[in-house]
Structure 1
Amino acid sequence: MNRYIHLIGLWILALAMAGCQDEEDSAREGGTGFLISLTNDVEVTTKATPAVLGEPLKEKFKLKVVNDAALTLKYYDGNYKEGLRVNTPAGRYCLTAEYGTNPALALDDPYYKGEITKEVEEGKMTSASIPCKVANALTSVVFGEQPEGQDFTADFSDYRVEVSVKEDDNHDYVAPVEIKDNGTSAYYRAGTIPTFTFIGTVKETGKPYTFPLQDDCLTDPANFAAGKHCKIVLTMTKTEAGLKVNVSKVEINRVDIQETIPLEWLPKPKLETEGFDEVDKTTLYRLEGATVKRTAKLNINLAKGYGLDELAFSVKGDPELEGDYQLSKMTEEQKQSFKDKGIALPAIGGLNPSIDFTDATISVKANEDGSDATLSLENVVATANKRSNESSSYKLITKKIDFGLEVYPGDTWTKEFTPTLVYKSGDKELFNRNVSFEYSEDGGKTWIASSKDEAIKGLTPGKTYQARSVCLGLVRDKEVKTYPEIVLENGDMEDWNSSTRKLILGATFWTSINVTSYSPNSNIWACVNKKTFEGNPNIKSTYNLNPSTYREVGRGNRGYAAALRTVGWDNNLGNTTNIIYHVSAGKLFIGTYDFTHKKGPESYNYGMKYGSRPTTLNAYFKYSPYSGDSFKAWIVLENRDDANDVKRIGYGELVKGENVDSYKEMSISIEYNPDYKEYYITHMYVVFSSSSACSENESEETENLKGKVSEGDYHSGSVLTIDDISLIYDK
């Protein structure tokens, strides 16, 4: 007896809401656009509803509303929802309703589609009806018409018809499907012309039998259009040469969603996993130690309005659960045993049944020897409306994977940090496929997903964040604090200390002048005036006492700047017009300086305590080189946790020799040593020198700078003027 369903129209009402008030719906808000609803549901007259449609059918349809003139301008793209309202401007729109995936080739997978174009007028109600039709095609096979001699099972131990199609739209290979003598049908895209081959094994001989099915109807494109059902009837005859399979007839029927659909269009219950492995969708991987639950289900998709009649399955791998089960015959105690293991079984009669493994994704253990623990769910068969799926099997595999999360100091900046996921042991391929990274801005209340091993940007300097990596519910977390943006003290060079001395002008003993040196009034900046200007030579002359650092007018003729000058000096018998015993570059640096007259020692103590990570050293400068000299500026960032093993983490320098008359910006990029990324920066210093030939050893520096200062009453060389020194934090 034939079974039918009547599918009565899919309707969409589009209501323009601006200024309108309907008596039946006075609570509507104003506006223009679509108020979308399905005015007619599916009327079921038998229990032969397609199982893939699920419950409720109307909420499984995908709706799309796009501008007809600009199809990429979408106003809605998603599932139907009760009372769905889509606001649009007045205009012309394309409305589409779809159900299914339109596979290149599959068993029992119908596809429905409808499309119309409608105008929306400002302030008016617009209704639209979308007639949906079957949009793919199918073939079913009848193996014999059952008169005597037409029983295929009498002569074949197995038999089927293999259906093949050419490559899909992406030119990818499409695997064939097999139509067996069990009511299954092959679905394919409209316009595809499949090929059909009978394949069987002869009982008497055990030999294979292959026969391409040929008929004029099987090459006519019209017979494979949308909504066309190709029904192939096979018969079998015995000849002297053996068995022969014939195509008795081919029937082509038109089937529409608005019309009666025969039973052969109706698929069986369809089992689909949710939250299982992305590669092997029949396997659910679990990790020992996992604490975050993951949604994991075996969904049993049934026809609308009809519940689960029976569920049969077997369990292996767990002594407490092993056995064969029929859901309708299970005791409450048996069901509770599954629940205690985190497995929730469905109820007989349920409209949306599933086996829920969510609670089984945590608090699980691998075998004591560290090997995988496997629980198998085998021969799973769901029955609804006297139709059953082909049996299928699934596995729950518990593994041990060890990994960590690192956010190294060298991967942390003021506005970003980069996590490093560290694999240690276990299934590496599974780890790489499933590990993810998240971070939290609110102490772990909410988490933001981010790409693993990529920088998380746009953060707040000096703020504490939580970071975690998650693999199949197993968590590794870490607290991360971005660096603060530290501003250099007196980087604008506005605060100075001065020292004035009355000196003889060269060798003119009867002429004295006042000479003033300036040193930064700062806790961090130092210069070498103590060496070049604060000695006690036999003759206090401009030959011997010469400020290597003083102040000048600042950038933009505002405030002050630091002037660094290469000078000749002496703190003993004294220089002359052309005899210069000592030469020093003018220097400005972060740290402290000391010089013991008359023979030293000289002590440079570079650095200040510092805890950040800049990208650039920035300043403005002028330079007046002497005798082909060049200036040098550099920045150093170090870890000094071990005084005997100071690590240079970051460095940048600039050397230039051209004359610069007006202030110009310098930017020194800092390069960080990746070998030291696990070390924090503890100290930092910046150095500016009027000569790149400078040295921390006084005699060596004098040797390097011979000829770099002038003769006469003043022994002066290159002058580097520096203003507005700053650290830049671009990351």
Structure 2
Amino acid sequence: MNKLVIEYMKWIGGLCSLLLCMLLGGCQENEETDLSGKTGLLVTLTDDDNKAYSRKAPSELEDPLTEMFQLKILYSGTDKSAYKGTCKEYVLLQEGLYDLTATYGDNPVIALDAPYYVGSLNAQEVIKGEMTSVSISCSVANSLLSVIYNRESLNKMYESYFVTVSVGSESVDLDADSGKSAYFRAGSSVKLVFHGRLSGTGKEVVYDIPDQEQFANIAVKTHVKVTLGLDDSEISSGVGISIEKLETETVSIAETIPSEFMPKPKLESDGFLNNELSFAETEKKSATIRLKLSSALQELKLKFNSADTKFAGLEQGKEYLLSSAEDKSAIENTLGISLPEVGATEAVLDFTSLLPQLMTDKGATVTSTIEVDVKANNRWASEDATVNRVYTLKCNKPEFSIVTNPGNFWCKEFSVDSCDIKTGDIETISQKIQYQYRKKGDEQWIDCDRLVQFDDYPVDKQYQIRAVYREGIETEPVDVVLETPQQLPNSDMEEWNETTRRVRYFYVFGSKYYDQPFFEPWGGEVEHWWDTNNIETMPETFTLDYPNHNCFPAVTFCSGENKAAVIRSINHGGSNTSGTVVGENSRGILYAGSTDSDGNMSEGREWKSRPTSISFKCKYSSFDNERFGIYIDLYAEDNKTLIATGSYESNNGESITELTDYTITFDYRDTSLKPAIIKIKCCSVAINYKPSVQKNVQVNVPEGSDKFYNIHGGSVLTLDDIALIYGR
């Protein structure tokens, strides 16, 4: 019974020990992320230049080089092993001192591309409860020899050739295409034998390359490079092989990594998003594909497919080879790019200069594709089928629009402010922009400059204008509505007639006495556009045959073949039977607006067009050295924003005896706004001057008649034939 218990306990103990070993082994096999409180080593391998390459270095390796190394950890000063196996990032150990050795390869007598690497670190202390970091410096522990063939020289005589390199009884062959080297144990001496077949005859030639000092006892980490060519002086012997160059150099791990461990070439792009680059026609963007090479470029395949007829010279779907001079030239000349050379260690495919050449199909998007495959260290990028090697270029219609301001739409002209180019090259598109206009509703467009001018006022006021870069690429049309030229009502002062003035010899533009049946002022039932400032010159009671100075209006008309407005400075207010001047001196004003029954002036009339100047005829009788004034302003809808202004004032004391032509040019302060209101004021005495009158000025009414009256008056302005001029 006791024996069975003892045996059972031993079995249980062994099982626990086994489970513990399995658990520890599992912890070492799995890469733990939490090593806090553990005891052991964190291992990093470096090359002899102290450049770390554990897992990530050399950075170009796909498979971590560290995983190719074997790691042996011995208790320091003994042959007892604490760990032996694949090199790992960490190893759990007991506290103590340890000797570490990292190795790669078998150190053969001689082999092709078979480097042997060794690194060691002795008496490394491990402290309980800590993960101690250690760095093992590794270096090349064997030697190598390479043969470089001067093909241009050797091909004159040989159709094929290789060299046998031997150490003792073992040997390897180095041919001209493999790019491999012979690796052998450090301190070895090597023998070289050339094998070749003569051109034309195929006869085999075997030639022992003479021993050289560099071939004997080759030191560790030494790379012997032999360049072979032809010695013209020895060609008659049927061999002619000579050593053109013999050199040695010390090599590092990075230089001797076997090609099968080197990664396949990779493609990395700049400017592309998910292998696609979208751009506007003429746009300048960067577009490059970088060839990530771990060794010299051996070959490049390139397909270019495009619907753009400019590249019809490249066959659709054809695979162009870099090694073919004809293919390389076709790609470079057609696409306008430069390709790398075979043998380059760094290479970039730069399509930046290609993008501005690509065009849309009359504005429709055109897609071009570039398929790239690259070969280096005997591997193609296409080995990884998951990698997208097709790059797409999408050439889109450039976006641009014309900028117009309705303030630039006049009666006889309209213009474009600018062309707003949102995508595409501004300079290129700007140089080729053509503006066009048409009558709205027409099919045909007419080429034009930014400014379109007509000789006369077009009957049709509605037009459209657009900008065209090239056929099929144009802006959306912008509607243009020309202004309609307007003239001032009764601007020729010819509308006075018996109906409006009744039987009076003079005409009043406005009066609070319009309910008197004896006359109808324009301010009454008759529509009027002009008005006057003075309603006090018509008393409630008067006699037509004997009017005094106080009943004469500030504005009358002169009859005859050509009627005109007569604007006088007068004295008004109250009756003046004594002949003494009473009341107030007032300038006569003819203006666009209306005066209410209390004598309040409301200036301005609705107006929708923009004249460039105004002409008129006038004569003037100046009293007391006075001057007359005419003032015109255009305002925006708010009746506050001044759009344009113009004025004319005569010289002090200047009298004009005959009707004389004058022109006032408008000064436009703001052409971005359309006018809504026009204000015109014609004054017998200029604004800011106090008018004067004299007693008993004799006037005949109507003008030219033989009926005279005495009034208190001053300066007199006679105005006729007002005309607005639309020069634009």
Give TM-score scaled by structure 2 length: 0.41
Larger radius of gyration: 2
Give TM-score scaled by structure 1 length: 0.41
